[in-house]
Every structure is written in C-alpha cells, then in structure tokens.
Structure 1
Amino acid sequence: MNFSKTINSGVFIAIVGIVLFSAKAVLVKLAYQYNVSAIHLLLFRMLFALPFYILIAFYVKPQNPNIIKKVDFLWIVLFGFIGYYLASYFDFLGLQYIKAGLERIILFVYPTLVLLISKIVFKTIISLKQLLAILITYFGVLIAFWGELNFESSNVILGGFLVFLSALTYAIYLVGSGWLIPKFGVVPFTAYAMIVSTICVLIHYLVIDRTSIFEYSYQVYVLGFLMAVLSTLIPSFLVSLAIKKLGASNFSIIGSIGPISTIILAYIFLGEKLSFLQFIGAFVVILGIGIVSSKKMKLK
C-alpha cells in the first residue's frame, strides 16, 4: 500500500470525524436552552445510538480472533467506561458552566496528554516533527480562543476543570484503542466500546438519577438523536479508522483542528461571531495540520 495515500486518506477521515465530534458541543449548548440535565442529555445521545452499535456488533466479527485474549475484552470494558462514558459525562457537565469555545481550548490539550501517556506506557519517542506540529497547532488554538478566556467566575473554573478531566480520560481511551483496534478491527472495537459506554450511562441514570426522561419538548429529543448519529455514531468509526491509519499520537495532533470547526459551527448555529484573531488562529492551526499530513510522516 502506498504510504502517502494511506496518510492522506487517514488525515481526511480524521478531519471529518473531528468536525462531526466538534458539533456535539454546539448541539449540547442548544439542548441546554430547554433545561435538560447533563445525564439525561448524555443518556439520549447513547440510547439513540445503541441499536446501531448492537446490530454492528452482531453482524461484524472481530478482525483477528486468533490473537484476541479474554483479558482484551476486559480492556474494552475499561476503555469503554473511560473513553465514551467518563469523558463524555465530564464534558457535558463542564458545558453547563462554560461556553463552547472555551470548552474546546481546554478539551484539546488531549494531544499533549496522549503523547505523554504513550511515552510513559509504551516508551514511544516524541519526534521533532510531532513537537513542531503541536507547538504550531496549540499556538493557533490559543490565538483563536484568546478572547474566550475568562477566569473571574468560579463556575468557569469548575467547568474548565471538568473539561480537563474529559480531555484526560479521552486521551487514555485513544492510547488504549491504538493497540486494541488491530486485534478487533475498527468497526467491532468501536461498537463494543460504545455498547459498554451506553451501559455505564444507563447504570448511572438508574442508580443516581431515575427522574423522568419523557417530559421534555420535542427539540431535546431531536437534538439527542442528532448527537447520537452525527456526533457519536458516524465520527466514532471515523476516529477509530483514523487512529488505525495514523496512530494515536499523530491523530491527536490533527485533532487540534476541532476548536476551529467549533468556532465555525458556533457562528452558524449559536450566533457567535468570528473575530480577526480567530481567523488568524484558524490559519495557524491549518498550517500545523499541513505539517502532520506531509509525506514524510511515519506510520506506526
């Protein structure tokens, strides 16, 4: 297989998946206008997507069943719990206190966390190219969101801390999925992980909440369905495929384009205006993405 074509297709898949995932923050903010709780909204997101994942898990078998051990299924349970339950729940909670733009700048510290975790666990080497791409993309993100930073409110600090926990748990998921995906395949692994996450959310609701979920306006359920399909189902497979093609570390760097897509989506659907600095930041982030996707990038 031509490595440059693999890299280019991986970058494209990663960008589409990241943009769709980024739409989640906008959909959540729209849903919060109807006074829905974080756990209810997360439950709607997961339950609407669950039938699709069950069908996929039933019909699509693991890619390399001969090398799969029983302990690998326990790892799936762990990473499903961490990656799409804890990470999503912390993120939904954080979005109750901070704007979508500020959520993105905090959430996208996860590339650094991925590289750090990978170095600690797998003794990987952070190349100069990866370091340069990280510096450029993070500089672009900081420029784009400079006007969003405001730590005068304690609620903002709490929201920022919750979103940071989301970034940390998502980084752990990315690192773990990087070595499990070759065993199970992209589609089965993602389906298994999402089923586990849905079960975790359901248990959370039944044990801690148990208030009625049938008293909201129809807009809440529509937004929940859109989150399930456009910001969960489709991008979850795209992200897993991108990780397979590029590796967790390189994917995490490309993920820095997420905040820029959130700016654009927030402008369209939430009425947030783009400033000159945000346009400059977008350009700098795209420059960083160009470095990551160049032909000399190495596949893991």
Structure 2
Amino acid sequence: MTAQLHRSGLLLAAAGAILFSAKAILAKFQYRYGLDSLDVLTLRMLFAMPLFLLLGLRERMRGPGPRLSARERWVLLGIGLLGYYLSSLLDFWGLEYVPVSLERLILFLNPTFVLLIGLLFLGHTVSRLQWIAVAVSYAGIALVLAENLRVEGQHVLFGSALVLGAALSYALYLVGSGELVRRLGTARMVVIAMSISTAAICLHYLLVRDPARLLDWPAAAYGWALANAFFCTFLPVTFTMSAVRRVGPGIAAQLSVIGPVSLIFLGAWLLDEVITPLQILGTAVVLSAVWLLTRPRATPTQKPAGDRSAGG
C-alpha cells in the first residue's frame, strides 16, 4: 500500500464520518419548515434512491451477482427493513426531541450492541477489556444524558429512547448482514438494502399520509432534502466503501469517532445548541471506550465490511 493511497483512505473515512453525522443537522433545518421525521426520511430516501440505483447499475455491469437461496432472500429483506427503514425512522423521530450531539453519540453505541448480540445469540466471547469498555461507554452516555436533561428538559428521555432503538436496530442489521456482505459485496448489499427500505418507507407514507403532502413544502425544504440525500447519504456510503478498500474496516471504524466530535461543535455553531463541560467530558468518555471496542484486535464479534457508524 502506498503512502498516498493510505492518506486518501484516511481522508475518505474522516469525510464519510462527518457527512454521515451532518444528516442530523440538515434534518433539524427541515423541521423548521414544518416537516416531521416521516416527511424528512421519505424525501431523503426518494432523492437518494436514483443515486444508489446508478451505483447498482455500475456493479451489475461488472458482472452478475451470486444467486441467493430463498432463505438468504428472506434474511436480506429482514435486514433491509432493520438497517435503513426502522433504524432511520427511529433516528429521525428521535431527532425531533434531542440535540444532534446526543443523537450521534447514542448511535455510536453500535459496537457495544454488536458485541452483546454476539455474546447472547451467537456464542461469541467477551474479554475483560471489552466489558470494561462497554461499562465505561454507558457511563459516559448516562453522564451526557443527565446533563442534557438538565439543559434541554424531560423530552430528551423520549428522544434518547428512540435513538437508542435506532442504534439497536442498526446493530442487528450489522450482525445479520455479515454473510451477505461477503456473498454480495458491500456495494450490492447497500443498494439492495436501500431499495428495500425505500419501498418500505414509501408504503408507510402512503398508509398514513396523503402523498400530495410531499409536494407542498417551500423550495428550501426540498433543497435541504436533496443535500441530505447526496452529501449525507450517498457520498458518505461511497466514501466509506472506498476508505475500507484502502485502509481496512478497522481503521475506518476508528476514524468514525470524528462524527460525534464534529457534531458537538457543528450543532453549537449552526443550531445554537448548548455545549457544557460535562457534555464534552461524557462524549470523550464514550468515544474512548468505543475506540477500544473498534480496534481490530479487541473485537472478536463479526464485523461486516462497510460502514459501522452510519446509524441511519
């Protein structure tokens, strides 16, 4: 590996982490125009889907993918619904109640959920260092949550529970997608999962809303939706896939800590969110603990190739 290739991989991983995280800020901007989480997510998926279909076409031109069994198709459907439909829906709903810095920090607990799922259901072992890292990460979250309750109010509890559900849903997606990622490749896997989730969110919208509502927003709301779809959905996925090919999933996962750190300051700058010393301390505690869990030698739990911090 050349030094230039390695540097480009680091830059792509860092850029992907920041852009993934920034989707929360763009969603907050859209909420100011009267949209809610379902509106924001539906527009995001509709605008992003053509880009992922082009990515899928490129992969198709490289050759046909493997033939999947009926069981594998059902698994693919299930994890598609978990990873980019349920997780994203809970995440955007939670963003109506919590600051962006807390949202991203809770989502960053994905590795701890993956670890615990592996322990409880897959027969994986957990080292003493990993148990310590899990305990420390949740202690850090408790510290940040308590401070946000003091600053923001009781609604933070409900929003945090929703985002925690999003993190758990995405962890189940990560655990379930391991074998399929090896069979299909990261790009094909992402395209198929996005297609399933887009169909699901559109059906959800049609069942509970008049679709004409999607045509009745100010132009600025659509501009933010397009930016969310391109800069905070499609680009981060492609950046992260490229980074994994250059530096490996372990280093890419470690660089994802940049996402929560960036949101602390971006949220304060762009959304006037409050930053307190306790929030910064709790964030540092969580990031340090999760960093221990994402080190390649520290994690025996299956880690599928691709992004591990998107969280919706």
TM value normalised by structure 1: 0.80
AA aligned opposite 2:59: V
Could you tell me which amino acid in structure 2 is paired with residue 264 of structure 1? Answer: F
1:214 maps to a residue whose letter is L
Of residues 226-235 and 53-62 in structure 1, the stretch that sits farther from structure 2 once superposed is: 53-62
Q: CA deviation at 1:215?
A: 1.6
Aligned residues of 2:12 and 2:240 also touching (Cα < 8 A): yes
Residue equivalent to 1:99: 99
1:30 alignment counterpart: 29
Going from structure 1 to structure 2, the CA distance change for 1:143 and 1:261 (only over 3 Å counts) comes to farther
Structure 1: 5+ residue runs without aligned partners?
none
Q: Which amino acid aligns with 2:71?
A: V
* RMSD of Structure 2 on Structure 1 (CA): 3.8
Q: Secondary structure at the match of 2:117?
A: helix
1:233 deviation in Å? Answer: 1.2
Compute the TM-score of the two structures, normalised by the length of structure 2: 0.78
Cα distance in 2 for partners of 1:162, 1:52 equals 28
How far apart are 1:77 and its partner, in Å? 1.6
Q: Is the 8 A contact 1:19 1:258 kept in 2?
A: yes
1:197 aligns with 2:194: no
Deviations 1:180-208, CA, capped at 9 Å, x for gaps: 21111111111111111111111111121
Aligned to 2:125: 125
Does the CA contact (< 8 Å) of 1:64 and 1:183 recur in 2?
Answer: no
Query: Which of 227, 246, 249 in structure 2 is aligned with 1:246?
Result: 249
Structural mapping, 1:70-219, within 5 Å? 70-135=70-135, 137-138=137-138, 146-150=146-150, 155-210=155-210, 211-219=212-220
Shift of 1:150: 4.4
Cα 1:291–1:159 shift into 2, 3 Å: closer
The aligned counterpart of 1:275 is 276
**TM-fit CA distance, 1:44:** 0.9
Distance 1:53 1:115, change over 3 A: same
2:306 paired residue number: none
Number of aligned residue pairs: give it.
Answer: 297
Structure 1 distance, partners of 2:152, 2:277, is 24
C-alpha contact (below 8 Å) 1:105/1:145 kept by paired residues:
no
Q: Is the contact made by 1:17 and 1:234 (CA closer than 8 Å) also made in structure 2? A: yes
Shift of 1:24: 1.4
Letter matched to residue 230 of structure 1: F
Q: Percent identity?
A: 32
What is the distance in 2 between the residues matched to 1:104 and 1:294? 20
